[in-house]
Structures are given as structure tokens and as C-alpha cells.
Structure 1
């Protein structure tokens, strides 16, 4: 039995994985969604990026999980990528779902597509937190009105320190066994850093014809992609 440890991106908690988790459990595997410190039911907890790495590692160690597929969506790819190398032989594979990937000494802010100053200004204007998207920002991502409403209802502000802290890697990320899931409505090509990683023999690419939140827009398809790694 494979153990899936799933971490959603900014603003979202373990609740975001409910539909995917039900399908993976029905296939006979373990699923352990993790809420990162500072969001959802852990809102208010102080959280830097290494706090989020520990959130993932400590949950795996607490449950004594083996044969782990670590799944990181969006921002969560950064702490998940670091956690993957810290759990040693417990790891089976990492799955990055339309995710950012960690780079030694770099942060989520430093790689922000509009430039670091843009995201830094958003954090400063919201008391050091990243405000959840508005309904308009979910447009064009393959979501129904009901799915968008669910996202808006559950999203909470994300602690800015976790976005600004640098990643810490002991070895090149390309050495990890990994699958990258590219959601095409969020851009047809992987980012340059992901494209470089995909040249590794350890990495492979899977595409989904949906937007950045496939656990909501295409939960059955995403579940099948995860089950292929079991």
C-alpha cells in the first residue's frame, strides 16, 4: 500500500484534497492531507518556510509512513521538495502539481513571475499576509461557479514569511524521483526551472487540460495520475 501525503498551495488546507483523497483511498491506499501552519484550521500559527517543511516531515514521522508519495500543489511544491530529501528511504516519489519548485537559497517571492517587488508590495499592504484571490482571479481556470465558491469560502490569508524565506536543499532536486503535473490552462509550458529539472532521467511530465486547481476542477483525473505512481 502506498501512502500519499498531500499538501495544497497557498491559502488552502487539507480540506482541498477531499475529493481526490476519497478516490485514492477507494483504490486501497493511504491518504494523509496536511494543513500547513498559518492557514485554514492552523490560522494564527507563526510560520516561516522551514516551519512548513517541518509540518510535512513531522507528519510522516509521526505516522511512521513508508513508501510515501509526497504531493505538493502550487506554493507547497517548495516545502514538499525540501521535505522529500529529508525523509530518506521513506520516499517513493514526489508529485508536483502545477507547483513551484525549491532552489537552494531562493524563495517563492524571488521567483515570482511579476517580479519580487510586486509580491512584496502585496504582502506589505496586507499586514504581512498574502490575501486570497478574488473570484475574478479564478476565471479561465476550468472551474465551475460552485467550485470557485468553494475555493473562496475555504481560502484564508497565507503567512508572508513562508513566501520570503529561502529554500534549503542538501542535493540537487533533479536527483529525486519526481513527476511534474502541468495544468495547461495556467500556461502551456513549464517554467524554465521546471523545464531544466525535466531533463533529468528521474523526472517525468504529465499534462492536464485544466487550470491551476485540478483537485477542484478535475479531481477524478488527478486521482488517476496519483494512482499511477502507487
Structure 2
């Protein structure tokens, strides 16, 4: 049995996986959605990026699975990618879902100065998206309203703190999921990693938040990654 540890991107808590978790459990696997420090029901907890790495590692250590699939969406690819190094031989597979990837010494805002400006303008937090930010992402009005109602500001320190990698991310067995409505091709840093023999690309014809727009299809992608395992 595989244990999935599911980490959504900025502004989102464990609730973001509500439509995916039942699919994984119905297939006989464990599923552990994570709320990172500083968002959702943990919004009052001070957090930087290192805190988020520890959040993910703590879930793995608490359950102590033999075969874990770490899933990082959007911003969370950065702490999840670092946590994957810490998990060691318990890691069966890493799934990065339309995400950023950690670069040693780099941060989420390294190539996104507008995010740094937004954080500075809002007292150290990245404000939640507006409805216009979710337009064209395969979400109907009901889903957009549901998502926006539950988003919370994201702690700015996690976006500016640099990543720390001790090894080569390209050496980890990884599936990168590109959501095509959010752009037709992976970012350059991801493309370089996909050139290696341990990374594979999966494309989904949906928007940046497939856990809301295509939860069953996303669950199938995750189950396939679990079956791929360490290969």
C-alpha cells in the first residue's frame, strides 16, 4: 500500500484535496492531505519555507510509511522537493503538479518580482487570488466561489526564503504534471530536469488547480505514479 502525502499550493489547506482523497483511498492506498503552517486552519502559525519543509517531513515521520508518494502542487513543489531528500529510502515517487521546483539558494520570488511586491504591499502576506485569476482554468462559477471562499493569505517568508538542496533533484523518481491551460510547456528549470532519465512528463488538459477541476483524472495520474514507483 502506498501512502500519498498531498500538499497544495499557496493559499490552500488540506481541504483542497477533498475530492481526490476518496479516490486514492478507494483504490486501497493511504492519503494524507497537509495544511502547511500559516494557512487555512493553521493561519496563525508563523512560517517560513523551512517550516513548510518540516511540516511535510513530520507527516511522513508520524506515519512512518515504507512507500510514500510526495505530491507538491504549485508553490509547494519547492518545500516538497526539499522534503523528498529528507525522506530518503521511504520515497517511492515524487509528483510535482504544475509546480515550481526548488533550486539551491533560490526562492519562489526569485523570478517573480511581482509576488515580492504584493507581499510587501500587504504586510508580509501574499493575498488570495481574485475571481479573475481563476478565469480560463477549467473551473465553473460554483467551484471558483468555493475555492475563493476558503483561500487564506499565504505567509510571505515562505516565498522569499531560499531553498536548500543537498543532492541532485534530477536523481529522484519524479512525475511532473503539466496543466496545459496554465501554459503549454514546463518552465525552463523543469525542462532541464525532464531531460534526465528519472523524470517523466504527464500533461493534463485542464487548469492550474486540477484537484478542483479534474479530481478523478488527477487521482488516476497519482495512482499511475505510485505504480511506477522507484523505476
Taking structure 2 as the reference length, what is the TM-score of the superposition?
A: 0.97
* Alignment match, 2:125: 129
* Alignment match, 1:228: 224
Take 2:176 and 2:141, find their aligned partners in 1: how far apart are those partners?
Answer: 27
SS of residue paired to 1:5: strand
* Alignment match, 2:32: 32
Tell me whether 1:184 sits opposite 2:180 in the alignment. Answer: yes
Superposition RMSD on alpha carbons, in Å?
Answer: 0.6
Moved beyond 2 Å, runs of 4+: none
* Alignment match, 1:83: 83
Gaps of 5+ in 1: none
Take 1:66 and 1:49, find their aligned partners in 2: how far apart are those partners?
Answer: 26
1:15 Cα offset (Å): 0.4
Tell me whether 1:208 sits opposite 2:174 in the alignment. Answer: no
Describe how 1:144-159 pairs up with structure 2 within 5 A.
144-159=140-155
Describe how 1:94-133 pairs up with structure 2 within 5 A.
94-112=94-112, 116=113, 118-133=114-129
* Alignment match, 1:50: 50
Across the two proteins, how many residue pairs are aligned to each other?
A: 226
Take 1:49 and 1:2, find their aligned partners in 2: how far apart are those partners?
Answer: 26
Take 2:41 and 2:119, find their aligned partners in 1: how far apart are those partners?
Answer: 21
1:80-137 Cα offsets, whole Å, 9 max, x none, are 000001011110010000000000000001022xxx2x22210011110000000011
Tell me whether 1:93 sits opposite 2:89 in the alignment. Answer: no
Gaps of 5+ in 2: 227-231
* Alignment match, 2:214: 218
1:63 Cα offset (Å): 1.4
Take 1:20 and 1:70, find their aligned partners in 2: how far apart are those partners?
Answer: 14
SS of residue paired to 1:229: helix
